[in-house]
Amino acid sequence: MATVYVNGTVYTMRHEGDKCTAFVVDDGKFMYCGTDEGARAFGEGCQVVDLKGKTVIPGMIDTHQHLFAYARDLQKLNLKRAGSKKELLEMIRERASHTPAGEWILGTGFDHEKFTDQKELPTREELDLVCPDHPLIITRYCLHVNVANSLALKAGGIGRGFQAKVEGTVEFDENGEPTGTLRDQAAADIIAAIPDPLASLEQKKDAVEKACHELNSHGLTGVHAIQGIHCNLPEYTDVYQSLADDERLTVRVYLGYDELPGCHIRTGLGDEMVKYGFYKLYVDGNMGGRTALLFSPYSDDIDSMGIPNYTQEELDQKVKDAYERNIQVGAHVIGDRAADMLTTAIERAYRENPKPDPRFRMIHMSLLNEDIISRIADLPVVLDIQPMFVSTNVHWSESRVGHDRSRYHYCWRKLLDNNMILTAGSDSPCESYDPMDGIYAITTRCGMDGYPEGGWFPEEKVTVYEALEMYTKNAAYVSFEEDLKGTIEAGKLADFVILNKDLFHTEPEKIKDIQVEKTYLGGRMVYERGNSLR
């Protein structure tokens, strides 16, 4: 039986300003979008829901998330609230006091750049003092920087003279001893030795189901779940498929893997709930850990220009290999030199063999320059950006690259003005996955604390419509699903969200306070504020 929704403020997102008051849902899809009278005309016997003027938007899609890692991290020691090194160490000491000796302790989410005492990573020795009887590894919120104590280093075989697979990923002191700081692959090797609390399929499913319900509570009905093995960020297709089979999956999943499939499949294999998406490459590291690859040295470390994960030739070949197999290519790039390398690889693959609509994904694209911007404007690319990066990094970004280069740090207005398509992701668990936080960040260019007044390089702000477009219509486009979802119109999947306020009539500074009242997936309510649907 169809359900008729009337008396709403429904933003269809087909184009800016497009609204209706009513819609009809039947068999998981929108059958009609228009006036109250038109909706009621679908006949007697239909269930009628009075929206009472509430704001309705399409279900939102996070185009960059490490969903299984987020699910896994729900069980770890959450260090996000550590405001100082002293507080972080005390939190670890407290967890250790209640953990049987010998058991691993894993912590996540801290940001030493926000510490009020010492803006420094803790050392192996400091961790040993508060946690001497447990192997311990803690992960910075960016997921690229980790610190381990002596027992964890020993478990990973890391000591004096250790040769890392990727040069520069293990830090040593002046005596040749590891400091405890590990980056990317080096940390993954240690973590591989840790007993897995989510070893079975059912354990994984339970954890992911819980995480998906958390996403629903923030209006998310879709997520691009991305694997990054070198950062210990696995994803499991069978987990999502099995949840879907059990009718327990409450978000639509588009998967990205940093391995090419061993069988001859291409982008799009799957169904409306779980679909194979793209090949994910990691060209460089991150800005917080100074592993992002730059053309010029870091302003606060003139001996470093970051760490490349590939040579240009290696990257060219990897992009070409996926492209020739009709597999969408997506690549993580943070620094301007990494962005240049990816642009070059795409240019070479595409111009050698032009295809109609490859939609290369350039992920993050944090620090750019005029040359890169002009070159990518001529390529069939979509930019997967992370709005929250500007909000969390605003306090220290200029210390890394200086004021002049910072004009091209998260320069999203420039990209939009060059007619590029942008989508929005969170990079969760690195950042908040609440789209309202992301829309706040990208429209104000301020930290969650409101700093700096007026916004950081305010000329790069985007409008509320442009921001929401990145989470809806554009997010559907990048996965080749623009005919399936992303807007509220007849024939599309009935994924929609009811908000407690109209975000188009809310000051950008207050958008982060908007709450989701209900979330629907295929016409089925999967979240209601104040009511557990699990």
**pLDDT attached to residue 534:** 57
Token match 């996955």: residue? 433
pLDDT the model gives residue 229: 86
Is 256 inside a domain boundary? yes
Asked if residue 132 and residue 253 are part of one domain, the reply reads: no
In a domain, 17, yes or no: no
Give residue 42's pLDDT: 84
142 and 227, same structural domain?
A: no
Do 301 and 171 lie in one domain? The reply is no
Say yes or no: 353 and 482 in one domain. yes
Same domain? For 166 and 278 the reply is no
Residue pair 307/519 in contact (Cβ under 8 Å)? The answer is no
Residue 10 falls in which region: left (phi positive, over 0), alpha (psi -120 to 50) or beta: beta
CATH of the domain at 216: 3.20.20.140
pTM equals 0.87
- 171 and 110 share a domain? yes
Name residue 228's amino acid: G
Domain-located, residue 257 = yes
Residue at 352 is within a domain = yes
DSSP code of residue 116: S
Please indicate, yes or no, whether residues 151 and 209 belong to a single structural domain of this protein. Answer: no
Query: pLDDT averaged over consecutive 10-residue blocks of the chain (534 residues)?
Result: 96 97 97 96 88 98 96 88 94 94 92 89 96 95 90 92 85 93 81 82 96 98 94 92 98 97 95 98 92 96 95 98 98 98 98 97 98 97 97 92 96 98 95 97 97 97 98 98 98 98 98 98 96 66
pLDDT at position 168 = 84
- The pLDDT of residue 144 is 84
Dihedral pair phi/psi, residue 513, rounded to 5°: -95, -5
Q: Single out the residue in 191, 225, 249 at which a domain terminates.
A: 191
Q: Does residue 246 form part of some domain?
A: yes
Q: Are 66 and 225 in contact (CB under 8 A)?
A: yes
Separation of alpha carbons 363 and 333, rounded Å: 6
pLDDT at 190: 79
Instruction: Output the pLDDT for position 230.
Output: 76
- Domain boundary, last residue among 126, 161, 191: 191
Residue 532's pLDDT is what?
A: 66
CATH of the domain at 113: 3.10.310.70
User: Domain check: are 354 and 282 in the same one?
Assistant: yes
Query: Same domain, yes or no, for 261 and 318?
Result: yes
What is the DSSP pairing of strand 381-385 with strand 421-424? parallel
Q: Which domain holds residue 421?
A: 62-66+200-521
- 400 and 324 housed in the same domain: yes
The answer to whether position 36 is within a domain reads no
The secondary structure of 246-275 as a DSSP string is TT---SEEEEEESS--SSS--TT-B-SSEE
Domain boundary among 142, 162, 191: 191
Quick check: is 533 in a domain? no
- Report how many domains make up the chain: 2
Is residue 320 domain-shared with residue 441, that is, in the same domain? yes
- CA distances to 89, 187, 190, 192, 201 from 155, in Å: 21, 11, 7, 10, 26
Q: Are 500 and 186 in contact (CB under 8 A)?
A: no
Q: Is 40 part of a structural domain of the chain? A: no
Residues 297 and 421 in one domain: yes
